[in-house]
Amino acid sequence: MTLHHLTARLNDILCAANLLIWDSRTQMPPGGAATRGQQIATLKGLARELILSTEMRRACDVAVRAAEDLPDAHPDAVAARAVAAAIAHHDRIPAALLQAQAESATVAQAAWAEARAASDFASFRPHLERTVDLARQQADALGYDAHPYDAMLPTYEPGETAASLAALFDRLRDGLRPIYQAALARPAPRSDFLFRDYPQDVQRAFCAELAPVLGYDLARGRLDAAVHPFEISFTRTDVRITTRFNRAYLPASIFGTAHEVGHALYEQGIDPALTRTAHATDMIGLYAVGGTSFGAHESQSRLLEMHVARAPAFWAQHFDRLARHFPDQLRDVTAEEFAAAVNRVAPGFIRVEADELTYDFHIMLRVRLEMALMDGSLRVADLPEAWNAAIASDLGLTVPDDARGCLQDIHWSTGYVGSFPTYTIGNIMAAQIMDHLRRDQPEVTQAAEAGNLAPLLEALRAGVWRHGRSRSRDDILRGMTGKALDIAPYLGHLHRRFAA
C-alpha cells in the first residue's frame, strides 16, 4: 500500500476512535463504560502499530525520497515529514512506558475525582507524583536539549519550547496587569438577568439557531448536550459539537456553542482533498483532527466566541432573536446591557468559568507550575502552596480550598502535560488574525459587525481552515498576517474591550 492508502486507513481507525469517544460522552448507557475504554485503547494501539509497521516505514521512506524533488512546503513533502516524525516519536516511547502511563491514568483519574470531591490534595499527591515521574520518563525517552518540557510540546504545539513560552508569557503578564487594574476600576455592569430561570429546551432551541448563524453546517454535524463541551470529527463531513446547559446561567450554553462552532468550522472547512490524509490526522497524538496545532484550533474557537459572539455588535444584531426565546426573562434588558454583562470582568478561582481578561492568568499559572514540576524545581508536595501564591499574586484572591485550586482540572490526572499553553496561544492567534483583517480588509470585519459573517468566514476558510495540517501554525499566520505569532494585537484587543 502507498503512504496515501496507509494514512487513509490510519485516519479511518482514529475517526472510529473519535466516535467511541463522542458516543461515550453523549449517548452511551452507564453500563457501556465497562468495556469502552478497552475498545478505545485497542484502536489507538492499532493506530500506533500501523504507524510503526514495516509497510508504513517503507512507504514513508519512498515518500521522503520522492519529496527531495519537491519544495519543502509541498503538501506531499509535509506529509512525508509528518509521517517520519510520527514514526520517530512512537519509536522512542517504549511500550512498557505507554502501558504504565495508561494504567496510571486510569487510577489517577479516579483518585483525582475523589480528591477533588473531598478537596483532599494529600490523597491525590502520590498519583500526581507518579504522573509527573512518568511524564519525565517520557521526556527522557523523546529527548530534549534545554528543558524536559520541550519534549512534551511538539505533541500539542510544534515549534514552541519552554524558553519561547516563558518569554511570551512574561510579556503577556506584563501587558495584562495594567489592563486588569483598569478593568477592575470600571463600574461593574448589571448582570442579574443572566442568572434567571432559563429552561433547557428553550436554550437548546436558541443554540440550534445560533450555530448555523455562526456558519456551522448542521447537515455535516449535530449539537448535543455534554457535561464538558467539546468538538470532535469523523472527517470533515461529520463534525459534531456539544454544549452544556445551565438552567440558572444563560451564557454557558450560548458561548459554549459559539466556542465549539469555532472548532467545528475549522474541521468542516478543511479542503475536501485532504480528507483521510496525513493532513487531517494527528499521527503523534493519535487523533483524527484537521487543525494544525492545539493552539491554532483554539484560535478559531476563541475567534468565534470572543471576537464574533461576545462582540457588542453581534448582540445588536441578534439580541432580539434571543429575547423572542426568553421574553419574560429578558423583558427589562437591552442588547447593550446583555453584551456588557457577558463581557464583565469577574476574577475567580475556576479556569473554565473565567472571563476573557483573567483567563490567561489561569493558563500561565498552570504552565509555569507544570514546567517546574517537569524540571524538578517544584515538588508535587509544594504544588498547592505555589498555586495559591500565584492566584493571590495574579488575581488578588485567596484560594479557599484545593478543590477550587490545584485540584480543579482533570488534565494532569490523565497524564497530559504540555497542553495548557495552547489555550493562550489560541487567544493570541485569534486576535492577531482579527487585527490583521481589520487593518487590511476592513470590509470583512465591517460586514461581520453589520451582521454578515460570510466574508469573515471565507477569509478564515482561505487562510486557515482549508490547509488542515499541511501548514504549520506560524506558516498560516505568516500567510495571513505577514508575521509569526505576535502578542501585540491581543493586548490591543483586551485593552479596547476592558480598559478603554
Question: For 34, phi and psi rounded to 5 degrees?
Answer: -60, -35
C-alpha angle with apex 111: 109 to 117, nearest 5 degrees?
A: 105
Q: Taking a C-beta distance cutoff of 8 angstroms, is the pair 166, 215 a contact?
A: no
Q: Please give the grid coordinates belonging to residue 441.
A: 480588509
Q: What is the CA radius of gyration of the chain?
A: 22
Q: Taking a C-beta distance cutoff of 8 angstroms, is the pair 241, 26 a contact?
A: no
Of 27 and 377, which has the nearer Cβ to a second copy?
27
Would the CA dihedral through 237, 18, 291, 460 be positive or negative? positive
What are the DSSP calls for 350-394, one per residue? -GGG--HHHHHHHHHHHHHHHHHHHHTSS-GGGHHHHHHHHHHHH
Question: How far apart are CB 457 and a second copy at their closest, in Å?
Answer: 18
Q: Where are the alpha helices (DSSP H) in 119-154?
A: 121-142, 148-152
Of 156 and 234, which has the nearer Cβ to a second copy?
234
Of 13 and 456, which has the nearer Cβ to a second copy?
13
Question: How far apart are CB 297 and a second copy at their closest, in Å?
Answer: 20
Question: How far apart are CB 238 and a second copy at their closest, in Å?
Answer: 3
Of 41 and 141, which has the nearer Cβ to a second copy?
41
Exposure of 147 in the CB half-sphere (CA atoms within 13 A): 22
Question: How far apart are CB 318 and a second copy at their closest, in Å?
Answer: 24
Of 37 and 251, which has the nearer Cβ to a second copy?
37
Nearest to 140 by CA among 376, 396, 414, 485: 376
Given the residues 231, 260, 356, 449, the one annotated as active site: 260
Q: Please give the grid coordinates belonging to residue 270.
A: 478543511
Q: Name the 3-class secondary structure at 225.
A: strand
Give the Cβ contact number of residue 102 at 10 Å.
14
305 an active-site residue?
no
Q: Taking a C-beta distance cutoff of 8 angstroms, is the pair 59, 42 a contact?
A: no
DSSP secondary structure letter of residue 332: T
Q: Where are the alpha helices (DSSP H) in 186-232?
A: 200-213
Of 217 and 353, which has the nearer Cβ to a second copy?
217
Would the CA dihedral through 181, 188, 210, 14 be positive or negative? positive
What are the DSSP calls for 250-296, one per residue? THHHHHHHHHHHHHHHHHHTS-GGGTTSGGG-BTTTTB---SSSHHH
Of 223 and 437, which has the nearer Cβ to a second copy?
223
Of 59 and 371, which has the nearer Cβ to a second copy?
59
C-alpha angle with apex 139: 138 to 142, nearest 5 degrees?
A: 85
Chain positions contacting a second copy, by CB under 8 A: 8-9, 12-13, 15-17, 19-20, 23, 27-36, 38-39, 41-43, 45-46, 217-222, 234-235, 237-238, 240, 275-276
Exposure pattern of 353-379 as b/e (b: 16+ CB <10 Å)?
ebbbbbbbbbbbbbbbbbbbbbeeebe
The residues annotated as belonging to the active site are 260
